[in-house]
Structure formats: structure tokens, C-alpha cells
Amino acid sequence: MVPLILLTLVLLWQCVLVGYTFTLAGNAADEAAREAAVGGDCQGAAMRHLDGAWAGGASVSCPLESGGMVHAEVGLRVPVLFPGAISFPFTVRGEAGAVREERDGS
């Protein structure tokens, strides 16, 4: 019975890591889009909102602009059991958009 309980705990932990990676990718993309909307450093904003283990394999593409909107995309690798160790061979993507803001001259 103990091996079955341990296996269940390991699988639950892996599900937590996958969910956390999705959350991090979405948040980093959102922050990057907000920063790009005001003309700031989009990639820097995304990287500031990623934890150490996830930042290593992160890919950030921004700003993709169309119709007055800026779009940012962040790709992260999902770690296997422990962040900073090996990762699954797929990438989790977070996307966000924001309306470009113009600064007035006053």
C-alpha cells in the first residue's frame, strides 16, 4: 500500500508543478505586455516575474503589435519533480495582450 500512496503523491506533486508553470507563464506574459504597452522593457519585465529555475529555459517574444494592441508570449519548460533538474520535452506557453498607451506631452 505504501508504494501506491507514494506514487500518488509524486503524481499529485507533478500536477502542481505543471499548474504552477502555467501560472508563471501567464503572469510573466501579462507583465511583459503591460510593460510593452507603455514603451518599457518587455523582456526584462517578463524575466523579473520568473523564478530562478523557470527563468533558465524561458523564451520571451514581444512586442508583437497589431491594431493598437501589443502581444507578449512566454514559453516555459515544465520541470520533472524538482525545479532546476530535468524538464519535460514540451513547452507551456502564456500569452497576453494590452492596449498601447500613449504618453501625453503635459
Tens of pLDDT along the chain (106 residues) come to 889 999 999 899 989 988 988 999 999 999 999 888 888 888 888 888 887 777 777 888 887 677 788 889 999 888 887 777 777 777 889 998 888 877 665 5
Residue 105 within any structural domain of the chain = no
Q: What is the pLDDT of residue 103?
A: 63
Closest CA to 58 of 42, 39, 37: 42
Domain, as residue range, for 39: 2-99
CA pair distance 6, 30, nearest whole angstrom: 36
Residues recorded for the chain? 106
CA dihedral 98, 61, 79, 55 (to 10 degrees): -90
Residue 106 lies in a domain: no
Unique residue bearing C-alpha cell 500536477: 15
Is 104 domain-assigned? Answer: no
36 by Cβ neighbours in 10 Å (0-12 / 13-18 / 19+) ranks as buried
pLDDT at 104: 60
* N-term to C-term CA, the chain: 71
Per-residue burial over 63-73, b = 16 or more CB atoms within 10 Å of its CB, e = otherwise: beeeeeebbbb
What is the count of structural domains for the chain? 1
